[in-house]
Amino acid sequence: MSNNSKDIQELNEVLSVISEKVPKLITDLLGTIYSEEAGAQMGKAVGKFYQELVSSGIPEEEALKMAKDYMNTIKSVTSTFGNKHD
């Protein structure tokens, strides 16, 4: 077998493994990001962020806006990641 044929065979084997493993990896990762536990942790993080802002002297209305922006940023990042791999 020539080196070129051997290289092509090895590449096909690697691509085969990737095509089998990567979709499951992505599905598992997205399941983790969108799990009930992840939602609860995000809620706690946003709530704590809001509390810290208020306790630092930020007016409640402004702190609420900042907390919403923070939550939207988190959602945007996870959504962007998820859309690239759907």
pLDDT: is 44 or 76 the higher one? 44
Mean pLDDT, the chain, rounded, equals 84
Token pair for 19: 């095509």
Q: Give residue 1's pLDDT.
A: 59
Same domain, 6 and 28: yes
| Amino acid letter, residue 49 | F
Q: Closest Cα to residue 74, out of 25, 34, 37?
A: 34
What is the tens place of the pLDDT at every residue in 52-63? 999 999 999 999
C-alpha 71/C-alpha 59 separation (Å) is: 18
26 and 85 Cβ atoms separated by less than 8 Å = yes
| End-to-end Cα, the chain, rounded Å | 39
Q: Which domain holds residue 22?
A: 1-33
- Can you give the pTM of this predicted structure? 0.56
Number of domains in the chain: 2
What is the tens place of the pLDDT at every residue in 18-46? 888 888 887 777 777 778 888 888 889 99
Same domain, 18 and 48: no
